Amino acid sequence: MADTTIPGIKPLGKEKFWLGILLTPTVIGLVFGVLGSIVATIVLSFVQWDLIQPPTWVGFQNFIDLFTNTKFIKAMTTTITFAGLYVPGVVVISLFVALLMNRKIRGISIFRTIYFLPGVTSAVATAIVWNMIYGRDTGILNYIIEFFGGQPVCWLCNENALIAVVIVNIWGAIGEGMIIFLAGLQSVPRDYYEAATVDGAGNIQKFFHITLPLITPAIFFQTLITTINAFQAYEYVYMLTRRAGGESSVPVVVYSIYRNAFNYFNYGGASAQAIELAFIVIILMALYFWFERRFVVYD
Amino acid sequence: MKKQYLYVLLIGALLLSACGAKAPAEGVTEITVMQWGSPEELTVWQTITEEFQKVNPNIKVNVEVSDWDTYWTKVDTLFAAQTPPDIFAIDAPFYIDWQSRGALLNLQPYIDQTPGFLDGLYPKSLEVYHLDDGYYGLPRDFQTIVLFYNKDMFDAAGLEYPNDSWTYDDLRTAAKALTLDKDGDGKTDQYGFNYDTWDLEPGWGEVIWSYGGEIVSDDYTKTLLGEPKAMAGWQLLYDMMMVDKSIPDPIAAGEFGSDPFLAGIAAMTPMGHWAVPEYSTGGFNMDVAPLPKGPAGDRFTSVNSAGFVIAKDSKAPDAAWEFIKYATSEDAQKKLTELGFAIPVYQKVAESDVFLKQAAPINHQVFLDAIEYAKIKPSFKGYTEWSDVVGNALALIWSGEISLEEGIAALVVEADAVLNK
């Protein structure tokens, strides 16, 4: 890696001392909180433990069991399908919104704020509002459909629920994606466009030949973050599809991990699920970085 | 430079003070009692605790109350940290799960030292806690399931109120008559009946029993919900929801905040006494009747209790026992009854005006009569996971994705897999 340290920021004598003091709490937190729990999860995935009785070593049995655990397989399928719909949805739509928002018009900051609002609103509260929209008998969406003579749809019923939930999650993520893309768009030098205009390029040509190649770093970053979020998505999904008894009609892996650990006293199995989930995300990340080396343009 | 060291000292002092622990006063034993419940329940338990501390000045009780979901996460975490609460409340179906893991203290030696201690308590409420080598927990209060009905809806329809001669066929007929589309827009505005489609109590468990069916085998290795008699019970619930449409399906019920009876859009519901305070705020007149009889003339309901257990690793088991003893005493049971949620396990209190003449103007005697024909809600190892598998399988039937026969067949396979883990 190239040395990009700017001389003025390099800590000197006395500053080094303070750097150490001020970073200590964070470092302690990281070592014990994050690193510690990663190590603990790996160890736990090889044992059978219910918190009270001493753990027993079971080797890879927890991982082998996952292949026959129908509930886990369903949760994993749901999570992967969810990610498959959610990631492209968020990237494409938030890029589109960013393009709309990347212009000098009166009140643009108000529009940008509106798009960003879902990101700073309580997920539970917004999920309740979406429940009112999606409701089969009392929902606003069906009221509109019926007003125009259509047949009411059960949005949160089994075959539609996943799509309905993906839509809400995309809606909630547009704001943050827009910020990333706006930053990317604003770093594209204006004279490139002026040169293209002189050469007689249209808007669409400019987008595909100038904008898109130059914001590949932003697209890469956004895809990466969105993928990680997709595998961790939980609040909206649960709030919209929960059943009595704490289960959900759109089960996701994160929730399955929680249920196994805290409700079924199965800490080993829960840890194995967590590691399998992390493993899938790591493979995806490796793929992304491979793509990055080939297609992402840094100037 | 000097100033720098001062800062370091300050930061160090802050860190140290954060780690410091309080030393308990000499001669006083501190115990922690954890429960799930509402803020009102916390207030009542604090009064009970104050009374207890007056009698036992050497014991200091810290009561902690949290809502149901966070409660179990908290208890789990405290056990993992090997600092379990001395006493914690337990729902009877989870009792075996905890006991079988060696987490609970055997209370039998204490009970033996207190002759006649169990005499005042309802025998049926004790059954579930009694194991081969004694009691590992004791009930605090309990619940029977009866039929709640909305008197206003019956009056408006000109129907007779439910009574103790009703069969489930009578219930079905009345429910059908009480299912109305008041504004003629093709959508049901009032349902005849509603029950929680998820758990066996309150709702489908009582129906299965009344139809002569069983839920699990006595040794808890087989789910019996697919046997012919149980299927007859399922068929009734299925026909009421799918054919008569007198029971809202879970999606419709969910749009009314999950309890259509409370929302004033369902005329009848099987429910326990815990719902009385909330239902009293519903703005309708209600009363209760016994659950209907099954086709063979048998009547069954379920009884379930909440109890107290002592952690095996409690540092102060003697003090904890004193508290449990007090919690089942007449004084404490009276205060608990005044909350209006549950039936006290202390029989004399239950049969006194404290329980029977509560503020809610319903026939509280029905709940006590139900004890006689009640079966105990099953409690076995892995109950939570079994209950989730059953609930998920049922959800597919009620959403219309799968037929009743196929759904129950799949349910039995999945549920048995959990039982035989």
CATH, range A63-295 = 1.10.3720.10
User: Does B396 contact chain A (CB < 8 Å)?
Assistant: yes
For A197, the 3-state DSSP assignment is helix
Instruction: State pLDDT tens for residues A105-122.
Output: 888 888 888 888 888 888
CA trace torsion B206, B208, B211, B213 (10° rounding): -130
Instruction: State pLDDT tens for residues A174-229.
Output: 999 999 999 999 888 888 888 888 888 888 888 888 888 889 999 999 999 999 99
For range B32-36, the mean pLDDT: 93
The answer to whether the B27-143+304-373 and B146-302+376-419 domains have the same CATH topology is: yes
Q: What is the mean pLDDT of chain B?
A: 88
User: Does A16 contact chain B (CB < 8 Å)?
Assistant: no
Residues in chain A, overall count: 299
Q: What is the mean pLDDT of chain A?
A: 87
pLDDT band per the 50, 70, 90 thresholds, residue B15 = low
Residues of chain A in contact with residue B382, where contact means CB-CB under 8 angstroms, are 264
Domain borders along chain A are: 1-44, 63-295
pLDDT higher than threshold 80 for residue B389? yes
Rounded Cα distance between B290 and B288, Å, is 7
Compare CB distances from A264 to B69, B251, B384 and report the shortest one's residue. Answer: B384
Please answer yes or no on whether B72 and A263 come within 8 Å at the CB atom.
yes
Positive or negative torsion for Cα B336, B337, B341, B343: positive
Q: Which pLDDT score, from 0 to 100, does residue A227 have?
A: 94
Q: Which two tokens stand for residue B15?
A: 């860190």
Q: Which pLDDT score, from 0 to 100, does residue B8 have?
A: 56
User: Does B73 contact chain A (CB < 8 Å)?
Assistant: yes
Domain borders along chain B are: 27-143+304-373, 146-302+376-419
Q: Which pLDDT score, from 0 to 100, does residue A126 have?
A: 87
| DSSP per position, B386-410 | HHHHHHHHHHHHHTTSS-HHHHHHH
pLDDT higher than threshold 70 for residue B136? yes
User: Does A41 contact chain B (CB < 8 Å)?
Assistant: no
Q: Which residue has the tokens 């790591």?
A: A282
Give the range among B21-35, B122-136, B367-381 with minimum mean pLDDT: B21-35
pLDDT higher than threshold 90 for residue A82? yes
ipTM of the complex: 0.71
CB atoms within 10 A of CB B370: 26
**What's chain B's Rg over C-alpha atoms?**
24
Q: Which pLDDT score, from 0 to 100, does residue B215 have?
A: 94
For range B201-219, the mean pLDDT: 92
User: Does B389 contact chain A (CB < 8 Å)?
Assistant: yes
CA trace torsion B35, B40, B45, B46 (10° rounding): 120
E strands in chain A: 47-48, 56-57
User: Does A52 contact chain B (CB < 8 Å)?
Assistant: yes
Rounded Cα distance between B122 and A222, Å, is 63
CATH topology of domain B27-143+304-373: D-Maltodextrin-Binding Protein; domain 2 (3.40.190)
Residues of chain A in contact with residue B388, where contact means CB-CB under 8 angstroms, are 245-247, 259, 263
Q: Which pLDDT score, from 0 to 100, does residue B380 have?
A: 86
Q: Which pLDDT score, from 0 to 100, does residue A5 have?
A: 46
pLDDT higher than threshold 80 for residue B5? no
Please answer yes or no on whether A51 and B392 come within 8 Å at the CB atom.
no
Q: Which pLDDT score, from 0 to 100, does residue A248 have?
A: 83
Instruction: State pLDDT tens for residues B160-175.
Output: 999 999 999 999 999 9
B146-302+376-419: which CATH number, 3.40.50.1820, 3.40.190.10, 3.30.70.141, 3.40.50.300?
Answer: 3.40.190.10
User: Among residues 182-201 of chain B, which lie with CB inside 8 Å of chain A?
Assistant: 187, 196-199
pLDDT band per the 50, 70, 90 thresholds, residue B246 = very high
CB atoms within 10 A of CB B54: 8
Q: Which pLDDT score, from 0 to 100, does residue B420 have?
A: 87
Å from B349 to nearest chain A CA? 32
pLDDT higher than threshold 60 for residue B21? no
Beta pairing class for B191-193 and B134-135: unpaired
For range A18-47, the mean pLDDT: 90
pLDDT band per the 50, 70, 90 thresholds, residue B378 = confident
Question: Model-level pTM?
Answer: 0.79
User: Does B284 contact chain A (CB < 8 Å)?
Assistant: no
Contacts A–B by Cβ distance under 8 A? 72
For range B398-416, the mean pLDDT: 91
Residues of chain B in contact with residue A48, where contact means CB-CB under 8 angstroms, are none
User: Does A264 contact chain B (CB < 8 Å)?
Assistant: yes
User: Does B97 contact chain A (CB < 8 Å)?
Assistant: yes
For range B340-346, the mean pLDDT: 88
Q: Which pLDDT score, from 0 to 100, does residue A2 have?
A: 44
Compare CB distances from A137 to B101, B250, B255 and report the shortest one's residue. Answer: B255
